[in-house]
């Protein structure tokens, strides 16, 4: 249990760092002509909402799916994670607060983080340091 809490803490700390670095990026091109659902006063590249959605949902989905034996359950967990991540990104474009490229960049960074976490978990499972797939 202590290892799980430790890994979760490191994952959240890394995600917070990734969000901080992404939020301090450049402004997008002048887009004053776009009708918006909300006013924006900060940098928009990459989309912080899309990135954090990908970091949280894809990471949780990948790590939870890794512990399951049944392929249907794995597919369901990953599908829910992907759908929620996509909905967050689409909502940012729909509201007019981000360009599609901002959202794609956020998704790419978040997916890279989730992939890294999944690879670390795979490595730790191979070494026997964390629990493997749940057996029925």
Among candidate residues 15, 63, 98, 117, the one labeled active-site is: 98
Among candidate residues 49, 66, 74, 92, the one labeled active-site is: 49
Question: Known catalytic residue: 68?
Answer: no
Question: Known catalytic residue: 49?
Answer: yes
SS3 per-residue string spanning the chain: CHHHHHHHHHHHHHHHHHHHHHHCCCCCCCCCCCCCCCCCCCCCCCCHHHHHHHHHHHHHHHHHHHCCCCHHHHHHHHHHHHHHHHHHHHHHHHCCCCCHHHHHHHHHHHHHHHHHHHHHHHHHHHCCCCCCCCCC
DSSP state letter for 93: H
Active-site residue set: 49, 98
């Amino acid at each position: 249990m202590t290892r799980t809490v430790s890994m979760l803490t490191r994952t959240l700390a890394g995600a917070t760092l990734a969000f901080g670095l992404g939020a301090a990026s450049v402004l997008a091109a002048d887009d004053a002509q776009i009708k918006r659902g909300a006013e924006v006063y900060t940098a928009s590249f990459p989309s912080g909402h899309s990135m954090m959605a990908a970091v949280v949902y894809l990471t949780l989905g990948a790590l939870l799916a890794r512990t399951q034996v049944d392929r249907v359950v794995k597919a369901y967990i990953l599908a829910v994670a992907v759908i929620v991540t996509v909905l967050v990104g689409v909502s940012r474009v729909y509201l007019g607060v981000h360009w599609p490229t901002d959202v794609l960049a956020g998704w790419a960074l978040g997916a890279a983080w989730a992939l890294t976490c999944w690879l670390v978990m795979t490595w730790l499972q191979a070494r026997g340091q964390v629990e493997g797939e749940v057996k029925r």
